């Protein structure tokens, strides 16, 4: 029995799979060759029942590959992007884990940091430590310059000409909470509706639940189609005069889906609603232009775009930010304070109470400069090719079910392996130096739409390679073969 599989922990019936209905046709917890049922014999989960039985809903084509036919080999990514040059900038990619070279496929949780970011943070603490904005000395002026250059870099990344529309926060979670607690408290009332997609990370759902309960507003979920796309017909039907806000992911952290956010924002605006876009999984994968999207709010986390943890960005249209009351009070966000009255600083500082994560902004600035130095179109095309390669390669693993197959998705590959427990499978991969994530991925409603509570997720970044994918797929084949052999 292989390392990490002691006690047969991978042979669990707790996780439903499309390849193992009723437990028939299994060999040691895995489907026997040729026994997987056709897709059209697997009923849709109840949560996706709305997508069946009507021509107005799109359903994926059934798999017409003849039983027993060999899987189509994946095609390799194009060579227009020098991934090896990029990899040299990321020290962590060159270490070993459990005696194997590290294969980092947990980018959806956090990206690794290039040496330029590591050096920027180290330099701040070693040579340039100072608070910002209020000091009169040289180091304060230097630290303030770096801090505000970080704000300008974020504005350039998001395509806004007004850097005052950039608010520094701890991450996407704090950004959404800020909008919910400030804009939401001021603008939501009894019976108002907040549309939130079923693909959202909990960070773009729970804050809206909290403020909706306080303001006696209503959360309405935008349902998913079987391939992980948002149901656009249902969305159009849900919009109405009570819709005040639409909260959408720009790229799903568990399905990889990229919704048509520009079209969805335009529809929301027809009803006078605002739109907040969670870009945490988007900004590192493809260029974003909030002006072209006409987003009212847009948020991302630094640690998912090669920057440090604890720093993030909220974009808000100037007129909206200026209308929002402070969420937190304290230093930095004031103009004048007395016991009789306090007046507040202009945006963005009004929404940035206290000392910010100065070293984090130095690291964010370095990360965004690093990314700007790459050919983003070529990098995006490379990732698209690698995602297609990985999708094809995973299809060669018998009993593997991919969750989320929307066209044009980012490199998020969430899957189940027939008869296995996701956590145990991730641990077994870790023994071979392959880092993936298992669990609900802070997106329980998304998984519940597919009748699941847990799954394994491999997520790609621009420094991943075909060899990384091959290592994952070979490990999955090996784990499955040895588990089947041990049980048999």
**Residues with catalytic roles:** 442
Quick one: which of 442, 422, 445, 426 has its CA closest to 434?
Answer: 426
- Contacts for 407 with CB less than 8 Å, ≥ 6 apart: none
Q: State residue 434 phi and psi, 5-degree precision.
A: -105, 115
Rounded CA separation 28/309 (Å): 42
Sheet strands side by side (includes 297-301) = 166-169, 312-316, 297-301, 274-278, 243-249, 193-197, 218-222
Q: Six-digit token pair at 142?
A: 């230097």
Using an 8 Å Cβ cutoff, are 205 and 196 in contact?
A: yes
Using an 8 Å Cβ cutoff, are 288 and 157 in contact?
A: yes
- Contacts for 53 with CB less than 8 Å, ≥ 6 apart: none
Compute CA 150 distance to the chain's CA centroid, rounded to the nearest angstrom. Answer: 22
Instruction: Tell me the sheet residues that pair with 300.
Output: 313
Using an 8 Å Cβ cutoff, are 470 and 390 in contact?
A: no
Compute CA 275 distance to the chain's CA centroid, rounded to the nearest angstrom. Answer: 18
């Amino acid at each position: 029995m292989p390392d990490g599989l002691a006690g047969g922990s991978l042979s669990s019936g707790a996780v439903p799979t499309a390849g193992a209905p009723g437990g028939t046709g299994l060999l040691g917890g895995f489907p026997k060759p040729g026994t997987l049922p056709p897709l059209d014999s697997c009923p849709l989960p109840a949560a996706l029942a709305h997508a069946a039985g009507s021509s107005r809903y799109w359903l994926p084509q059934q798999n017409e590959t003849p039983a027993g036919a060999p899987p189509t080999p994946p095609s390799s990514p194009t060579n227009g992007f020098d991934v090896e040059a990029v990899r040299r900038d990321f020290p962590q990619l060159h270490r070993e884990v459990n005696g194997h070279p590290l294969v980092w496929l947990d980018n959806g949780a956090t990206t690794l940091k290039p040496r330029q970011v590591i050096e920027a943070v180290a330099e701040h603490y070693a040579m340039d430590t100072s608070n910002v904005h209020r000091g009169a000395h040289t180091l304060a002026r230097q630290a303030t310059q770096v801090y505000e250059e970080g704000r300008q870099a974020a504005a350039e990344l998001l395509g806004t000409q007004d850097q005052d529309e950039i608010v520094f926060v701890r991450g996407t979670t704090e950004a959404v909470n800020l909008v919910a607690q400030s804009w939401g408290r001021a603008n939501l009332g009894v019976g108002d509706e907040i549309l939130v997609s079923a693909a959202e990370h909990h960070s773009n759902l729970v804050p809206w639940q909290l403020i909706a309960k306080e303001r006696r507003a209503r959360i309405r979920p935008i349902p998913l189609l079987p391939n992980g796309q948002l149901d656009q017909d249902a969305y159009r039907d849900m919009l109405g005069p009570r819709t005040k806000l639409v909260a959408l992911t720009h790229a799903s952290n568990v399905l990889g889906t990229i919704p048509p956010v520009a079209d969805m924002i335009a529809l929301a605006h027809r009803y006078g609603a605002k739109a907040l876009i969670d870009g945490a999984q988007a900004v590192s994968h493809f260029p974003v232009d909030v002006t072209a999207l006409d987003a009212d709010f847009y948020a991302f986390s630094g640690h998912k775009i090669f920057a440090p943890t604890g720093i993030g960005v909220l974009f808000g249209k100037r007129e909206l930010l200026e209308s929002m009351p402070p969420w937190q009070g304290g230093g930095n966000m004031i103009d004048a304070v007395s016991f009789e009255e306090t007046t507040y600083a202009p945006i963005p500082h009004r929404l940035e109470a206290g000392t910010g994560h100065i070293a984090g902004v130095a690291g964010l600035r370095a990360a965004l400069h690093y990314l700007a130095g790459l050919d983003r179109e070529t990098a995006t095309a490379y990732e698209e090719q690698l995602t297609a390669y990985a999708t094809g390669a995973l299809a060669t693993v018998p009993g593997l079910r991919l969750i989320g197959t929307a066209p044009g998705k980012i490199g998020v590959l969430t899957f189940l392996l027939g008869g296995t427990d996701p956590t145990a499978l991730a641990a077994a991969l870790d023994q071979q130096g392959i880092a993936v994530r298992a669990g609900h991925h802070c997106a329980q409603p998304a998984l519940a739409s597919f009748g699941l509570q847990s799954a394994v997720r491999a997520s790609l970044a621009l420094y991943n390679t075909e060899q990384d994918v091959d290592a994952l797929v070979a490990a999955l084949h090996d784990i499955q073969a040895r588990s089947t052999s041990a049980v048999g």
